[in-house]
Amino acid sequence: MKWKQITVIAVVLILCGYLYSKPVKGLIKPKVAKGTAGVVSGSRSSVANVTVEDVSTPAKTAIGAALAARINDLEGQLKNATGDADKLSLQKQLAKQWDDDNQPAPSAFYYQAIAQKENTFENWMNAGNHFNDAYKAATDTAVQPAFVENAIGAYKNAVKLKPDNLDAKTGLGIAYVNQTSMGITDPNGGSPMQGISLLLDVVKQDPNNRSANLNLGLFAMKSGQFEKAVARFKNMIAQKDELEPNFYLAESYKQLGMKKEAVAAYQKCKTMVAEPVVRQKIDLYIKELQN
């Protein structure tokens, strides 16, 4: 199994531990008192205050000195480049290198810079997708608003270029829900229900759209609608039997108190991975349900 695949699987298992602590505002009333710390007020300054340098430093620590050396070399070349063509070429190399190193945050900023110079649908989609991935993977809440707001901006530009493209609508829908789940008010009127509506429209046009279905299932979980989540993930599995919907199906069954079904779903997940650490984590979930 490739390292990137192992990382994605591990993230799925780790993130689910606090999935339920992040209700989607507008879909379910958060059980927190007014003034609770951690709610981010709406502000465009969050975008301006987070730069590629801010996210590159921790990313270099994550990938280790050997891989970071290649990044440092490219950054040095970019800093000393004078021609626009040379700068663009180096930004593309940095975007790909960070992508290869499985670090979506710095990669997103470079894809954004590329899109600002080469206004193509593919470039804006690359930026939006990586900002959405960076938001999902981030543990630092101080940078999450910038990720989600930059994602919205990138997808809006993509939609302008291809108004009927379902991938762009899906990304924008996900970003809208992520934005308001953090308590950020979109000055342009984005809302969780607008995001859900976009995703539902995508599924109406393409019932097998994996990304839209997966995120509708996840948002159903966040809003406590586990029956709807079960139905969504079971439909996904019927179309294509993969690890991620099976894992979230198990989590949904667990929240519904359906222990037998949850154990069966977790056991199926074990057959889909070879990584010992991940299998051991699943065993812990099963043991918890059987006790």
Three-state DSSP at 173 gives helix
Residue 42: CB atoms within 10 A of its CB come to 15
pTM for the model stands at 0.79
pLDDT value of residue 222? 85
pLDDT value of residue 10? 45
pLDDT value of residue 69? 97
| Contacts with 254 (C-beta within 8 Å, 6 or more apart), sequence order | 262, 285, 289
Which stretches does DSSP call E strand in the chain?
Answer: none
* Domains along the chain with CATH numbers: 41-206 (1.25.40)
pLDDT value of residue 273? 87
pLDDT value of residue 183? 67
pLDDT value of residue 193? 78
Report d(CA 127, CA 199) in Å as an integer: 19
pLDDT value of residue 195? 86
| Residuewise pLDDT in 10s, the chain (291 residues) | 444 444 444 445 444 543 444 555 444 433 333 332 233 334 444 565 899 999 999 999 999 999 999 999 999 999 999 999 999 999 999 999 999 999 999 999 999 999 999 999 999 999 999 999 999 888 888 899 999 999 999 999 999 999 999 999 999 999 988 887 776 666 565 566 788 899 999 999 999 999 999 999 998 998 899 999 999 999 999 999 999 999 999 999 999 999 999 999 999 999 998 888 888 989 999 999 998
Question: How confident is the model over 22-44, as pLDDT tens digits?
Answer: 555 444 433 333 332 233 334 44
| Contacts with 219 (C-beta within 8 Å, 6 or more apart), sequence order | 24, 27, 177, 192, 196, 199
pLDDT value of residue 188? 63
Residue 128: CB atoms within 10 A of its CB come to 30
Q: What is the 3-state secondary structure (H, E, C) of 248-263?
A: HHHHHHHHCCCHHHHH
pLDDT value of residue 235? 94
The backbone torsions φ and ψ at residue 5, rounded to the nearest 5 degrees and listed phi first, read: -65, -40
Residue with tokens 């990382």: 7
pLDDT value of residue 38? 33
Residues 246, 220: contact at Cβ < 8 Å? Answer: no
Report d(CA 93, CA 187) in Å as an integer: 34
